[in-house]
Each structure stands twice: as structure tokens, then as C-alpha cells.
Amino acid sequence: MSSKEKNSVTILTESQLSSRAFKDEAYEFYKELRKSQPLYPLSLGALGKGWLISRYDDAIHLLKNEKLKKNYENVFTTKEKRPALLKNEESLTKHMLNSDPPDHNRLRTLVQKAFTHRMILQLEDKIQHIADSLLDKVQPNKFMNLVDDYAFPLPIIVISEMLGIPLEDRQKFRVWSQAIIDFSDAPERLQENDHLLGEFVEYLESLVRKKRREPAGDLISALIQAESEGTQLSTEELYSMIMLLIVAGHETTVNLITNMTYALMCHGDQFEKLRQQPDLMNSAIEEALRFHSPVELTTIRWTAEPFILHGQEIKRKDVIIISLASANRDEKIFPNADIFDIERKNNRHIAFGHGNHFCLGAQLARLEAKTAISTLLRRCPNIQLKGEKEQRKWKGNFLMRALEELPLSF
């Protein structure tokens, strides 16, 4: 999207927000929005009218605003509810990311024990072993595509073992995950995604049947036990929760590891500083989360009660979408916001969200990134980007900031 086109646009569409062209120029566009139009109109097809939020303070306020709901059933009457766009939608949307209190609290409580600080620390040796094993496979070649060879398999192996699902199915999860986070309303994409989600539902049904027969000490077995007790979890919620844990359990971390490596490759002074001072790793991870936020845009929030923001009435049923990527580059909060600085102080980024829906797996993602990047720098000290950085392509995706690939030599 050129500067001229950006200035002439009055309403952004879902397809524009999802395009590669938008991803390439998003940061400059967000900068203009923060200056002059922090509440930007969106046209979201079947979802209706929406607004894009770009400033940090607005993001913090709205992420905690009780007038906004994640479950559209808490906003629309029975007559107003839109028909499902996908046949398999209902089986995969009854999870905590799409729920409001008290349902959200009930669902989150069922899984949060697996993500406590103590439980995450117990995974450290396992994550280190996975990182070393993955590098063992590629190091003799002196080359790898970081996404396929390292950033994707590491977190998917971790979450698969936590959930108790076969590792050989992980490539299927990759395809299904992309279908779930694809917000396209193009008819051909909808048909393809519905087919893929149907496969995912069939897989979950088979997996749950097996776990009922042979329960084990994994998270899915624990969720099945909660579902069998009746009041804790419905069958639809069970499938939706497993889906969410699989998708959210790896998508964000894949992007964090990849985007952080890319940022370091593009900022040689910071890369060298981190190699010389590995104690800066935690700070570097927080800066990577801010600089190239793995989740660029939040999932939708529905307006349950009208309110005024920047002189504009936000009406009931309007959709609010918050750009975490823009909020994390807000100049009023982050001095020299467009500079990648691994020693940045008071880094109050919101890459993992804020409020009730703060990412449950944030600690796990940080540990996976710390282990992955530390191991990469220790074992491959001469690592460098293969090809020009301008050749790197951001995926056309509504929610995520994700690179298609990141070829490295060492």
C-alpha cells in the first residue's frame, strides 16, 4: 500500500489488513494513525463495521473495558446473531479466548495449573534437549530455514508432549492452525478452511476417544476428566480448548523466535552486544516482543454498550480490533520506538495482551525463546542471514506478524 493509497483510504477491509503489502508498510501506516487518526474505520464483511486502535493508552484502556465482549452471544440477541460462516465453527470456538467472565474464569482455571511458574521451570531441561536435537540435525549442513527447522518444531514438540498428542501429527497442526487464524471471507478460502477445520474436528474426536480409553498424566486427559464431571466443561468446550492450546501453544512462539532472530540479523550492533553480554538475553526477548510483536492484531471484541472515543461514538455491535504492534511502537510510551535496543529500560510492551485475556502461555513462550536463541548463538556463533534482508517476506495474515521463511548460514 503506497503512501498515496494510504492517504486516500477511508475504510480498511479485512483483506487489506491481511495482505503482504500491508504487512510490509504497516509500521509507517500505524505511525500516521497514531498522529492523526487513532480510531480508524474498518469494513469487516459479515462481521460488520469495525474500528482499528493504534495508540498504547487506548489499547490498555480497551483491553480492560467491560463494555467490550469476546463472546458475541453476550452482545447480540437471538434474532441478530449472524449465521456461522463455517460449518465446523461451533466445534472450535467455545474456548477461553472467545469467552467473558464468568465463563472465561472457569475455562482458564481448568488449564492454568499447567502454566504456573513452577510447572514451566520443570520444562527447562526438556526444552534444552529439544533445541540441541534440532540443531544436531542441521548443523552439519551449515544451513537451515529457521522457521521449518527450528522455530516451528521446538514449541510444537513442547505443547504436544504437554497435551499428550503424537509428535508425528505436528505438520497437520501447522496446516490446521493456518486455517484457524485465517480471517479471510473469500468464498474459495472459506470452503478450503472449512474442509481443513472439518479434518481437525475429526482428529480431535478420534484423539478424545483414545484418551477416554487410555487416560494418562497429560493435559488432555485432565480436560476430559473435567468434561466427564459435567459442570466443568462441555464437549464443544473440550474440543475448542484442545484446539486453542495446540494453536496458541506454538504460533506465537514460532513468530517470537523467528522475528527475534531476524531483528538481531538486521541490527548487527545489537547482535554483537548480545553475543558479548548473554546476560542481556531476557531484556533482548522483551525488546523483540515489542519491536516485532508476534501477534500484530488482537482477535475481535464486540461492543456491548455504546461509548465515545476520540469524539466518535462506538455503537453497540461495532467491532474493536487493537493493533498490539502499533501500541508497542507508540512514541509517547517508548522513546526512539523504531529503534531495536536490547537494553531498553521500562519496556512496558503489551505483546502478550493485557487484562483478563493476558496470554496464559507467556512464561512458556519466553522460556522457549530464551532457550532457542541462547542455544543458537552458543552453537552457531557465526550465524548470518542468507540473502538480502529485503528478500524476506512477511506472511499475508490478519492476526500474526510472521515471516514465511528465514534462511540462515553458519
Query: Do 356 and 115 touch, CB atoms closer than 8 A?
Result: no
Q: Give me the pLDDT at residue 87, please.
A: 66
Looking at residue 281, its amino acid is M
pLDDT at 81 over 80: no
266 Cβ contact partners less than 8 Å away, ≥ 6 residues apart: 340, 385, 389
Q: Give me the pLDDT at residue 228, please.
A: 60
**How far is it, in rounded angstroms, from Cα 373 to Cα 306?**
45
Q: Which three cell numbers stand for residue 263?
A: 531483528
**How far is it, in rounded angstroms, from Cα 39 to Cα 62?**
12
Q: By CB neighbour count within 10 A (0-12 exposed, 13-18 middle, 19+ buried), where does 218 fall? A: middle
Q: Which residue has 522460556 as its cell numbers?
A: 367
Q: Which residue has 441478530 as its cell numbers?
A: 80
Q: Give me the pLDDT at residue 26, please.
A: 96
312: containing domain = 3-409
Return the number of other C-beta atoms located less than 10 Å from residue 221's C-beta.
16
Mean pLDDT, residues 176-195 = 77
Q: Is the peptide bond before 278 cis (omega within 30 degrees of 0)?
A: no
Q: 301-312: per-residue pLDDT in tens?
A: 999 999 999 999
Looking at residue 55, its amino acid is R
Q: 253-293: per-residue pLDDT in tens?
A: 999 999 999 999 999 999 999 999 999 999 999 999 999 99
**How far is it, in rounded angstroms, from Cα 395 to Cα 235?**
34
End-to-end CA separation in angstroms for the chain: 35
Q: By CB neighbour count within 10 A (0-12 exposed, 13-18 middle, 19+ buried), where does 288 fall? A: buried
**How far is it, in rounded angstroms, from Cα 189 to Cα 166?**
28
Strands (E), 135-278: 143-145
Total domains in the fold of the chain: 1
**How far is it, in rounded angstroms, from Cα 109 to Cα 111?**
6
Q: What is the CATH number of the domain that holds 351?
A: 1.10.630.10
